[in-house]
């Protein structure tokens, strides 16, 4: 397996534009997590899914953020409209179940100008 795959690796966009980040988890993993990493706040959990169902979205900063998992092999994190303070590295991770290790993707570095 190629691991957790995220795209794009880098994204630069203007304030107000819609941004969509994509994630393909490891096949067979039932848990999928979206994290955001900044210098100021470290790694923060935004939302996670179990069997494609959102379980906890309490970390989503505001209504501009939304996440979907239409099937077991794909998830998106959307920001609309984007703001400069959304600039961060966004990581996706997957796990076979809630007691085993989580595997992280390489992240998407988002810059909103």
Please give the structure tokens belonging to residue 101: 């290790």
How many residues make contact with another protein (CB under 8 A)? 25
Per CB under 8 A, the list member of 26, 31, 60, 110 interacting with another protein is 31
Host H or E run for residue 64: none
- If one asks whether residue 106 binds another protein (CB under 8 A), the answer comes out as yes
- If one asks whether residue 33 binds another protein (CB under 8 A), the answer comes out as yes
Minimum CB separation from another protein for residue 65, in Å? 16
- Please name the residue that has the structure tokens 């998407």: 108
φ, ψ of residue 27 to 5 degrees: the values are -55, 130
- If one asks whether residue 105 binds another protein (CB under 8 A), the answer comes out as yes
Minimum CB separation from another protein for residue 1, in Å? 14
Q: Say if strands 10-13 and 108-112 run parallel, antiparallel, or are unpaired.
A: parallel
> What is d(CA 17, CA 53) in angstroms, rounded to the nearest whole number?
27
Per CB under 8 A, the list member of 22, 66, 68, 104 interacting with another protein is 104
Neighbours of 113 (CB within 10 A): 10
Sign of the torsion formed by the C-alpha atoms of 58, 64, 69 and 74: negative
Per CB under 8 A, the list member of 45, 74, 78, 87 interacting with another protein is 45
Residues at the contact surface with another protein, assessed by CB under 8 A: 31, 33, 35, 42-43, 45, 48, 50, 55-56, 91, 93, 95, 97-107, 109
């Amino acid at each position: 397996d190629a691991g957790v795959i995220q795209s794009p690796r880098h994204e630069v966009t203007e304030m107000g534009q819609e941004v969509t980040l994509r994630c393909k988890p490891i096949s067979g993993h039932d848990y999928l997590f979206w994290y955001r990493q900044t210098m100021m706040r470290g790694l923060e959990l935004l939302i996670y899914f179990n069997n494609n169902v959102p379980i906890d979205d309490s970390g989503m900063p505001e209504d501009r953020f939304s996440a979907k998992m239409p099937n077991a092999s794909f998830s998106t994190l959307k920001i609309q409209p984007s703001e400069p303070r959304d600039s961060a590295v966004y990581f996706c991770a997957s796990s076979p179940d809630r007691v085993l290790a989580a595997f992280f993707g390489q992240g998407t570095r988002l810059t909103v100008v």
